[in-house]
A and B are shown apart, each in its own frame.
Chain A
């Protein structure tokens, strides 16, 4: 007779970059039920946002996540600009695309490296993170920061990119792609890697949609959904082709991220080439009134900020729904029926960012 046992996976586990506990109900080696438990890094940022001035909240929003920090501040600024009817200068919209796509490349390289580490391919992990350093160098060169960029502001951006810096970015992108072309085949074609990823943690298309999956998790299951298609910032003026796969397994999620590296590099080049000259910020006066649900496509998927202003300097409400929060119910579906040994790979494949999920 098969006995049922409950195994706590995390909150501290070698494969998890941040704390989350998955309570796994097991029958022998097979998972029959999974339940997430969070709350280890809850910082009360939504409450703090109500106490701060709405301009100070730009800095707060950027600190929600240390991986996609720029996109949090971008989404917050876009929300406030929508409430205050602020027209952002064209050059600033293109600059936002450049930093957002550079961030996406760094985030995807980070998670692909962690995935390699999760299935025991440490050389691949080190090479991917080594290449990621080149991306961080671009951030440092253009903003002075490697993690928190601090360049997004309500009404535009704080720093410009000179023609010389633009050339530097293009050279760095060429070098990144040259090095990736030597490394990525190991991730996409290696026999042992495929053995760990193909057919593992399958999320069918209908389940992905029903359970609210977002980002590469949804697109790997065939759900064609990428908010960049809606044309926010300068995306509407760039040629953008969404990446989708149909298998819905860990391998498909990996392929989506690998292919999105090229998409992001292409969008960065396009944004630099098409960037108009002109001012990078516009003055903003007054305080926000009304409510908005601001959305952008983060590396992990759709990021939502509900912002409610009451005409004062303080926001009435600031609510954050991160993509990892949306991808937790799909994760439970992926885990059910899989083997215990596959849990690390499946968990990493949703690209979990727990600090921003808990805020």
Chain B
């Protein structure tokens, strides 16, 4: 399970990340999940095999400050989240303008739940089977 998770806000995030760097943590990665009306964003850091996570909920359409000026290593994953979820980052050290991992003509923000994608029927079928199994 995910331990050591601290809830934070977009405003407080840069200071927290800076403090984390000062404490000797290294940047591991970020994870974004679409929650419908907002995005759940997790920042993962490591020091001596011990993880620390920051979590923030970003309402849809809102912009988030890049942490690439604090951890340059974040530059690629921030561009990836921009591609796959349509989240804009301000102050990106390198901006691929939505074409980091997706090519021209690719669907916009394909990892948002509203984007059905390939195999939605299979998901609906397995979800229905799972509910039926739980009822019985």
Write the residues of chain A forming the contact surface with B, with a CB cutoff of 8 angstroms.
Answer: 35-36, 38-40, 42, 44, 46-48, 50-53, 82-83, 209-212, 227, 229-230, 287, 290-293, 302, 304, 306, 308, 312-314, 316-317, 319, 321, 325-326, 328-329, 358
Contacts and interface: CB of A to CB of B under 8 A. Distances in A.
Given A42-B101, A317-B33, A329 B73 contact: yes
B57 interface: no
Contacts of B102: 39, 42
A212 B118 CA distance: 34
B33 A39 contact: no
Contacts of B84: 46
Interface of B: 1-2, 26-29, 31-33, 42, 44, 49, 51, 53, 71-73, 75-77, 84, 94, 99-103, 110-111, 117-120, 122-123, 126-127, 129-131
Contacts of B119: 48, 51-52
Contacts of A293: 2, 31, 44, 51, 53
What secondary structure prevails in chain A residues at the interface with B?
A: mixed
Given A42-B103, A51-B122, A329-B73, 4 more contacts: A52-B119, A212-B73, A314-B123, A325-B77
Contacts of B117: 44, 47, 51
B111 A304 contact: no
Nearest to A226: B49
Nearest to B111: A47
B76 A210 contact: no
13 contacts: A42-B103, A44-B118, A51-B119, A52-B122, A83-B1, A210-B26, A211-B72, A212-B73, A302-B28, A312-B131, A314-B130, A321-B77, A329-B76
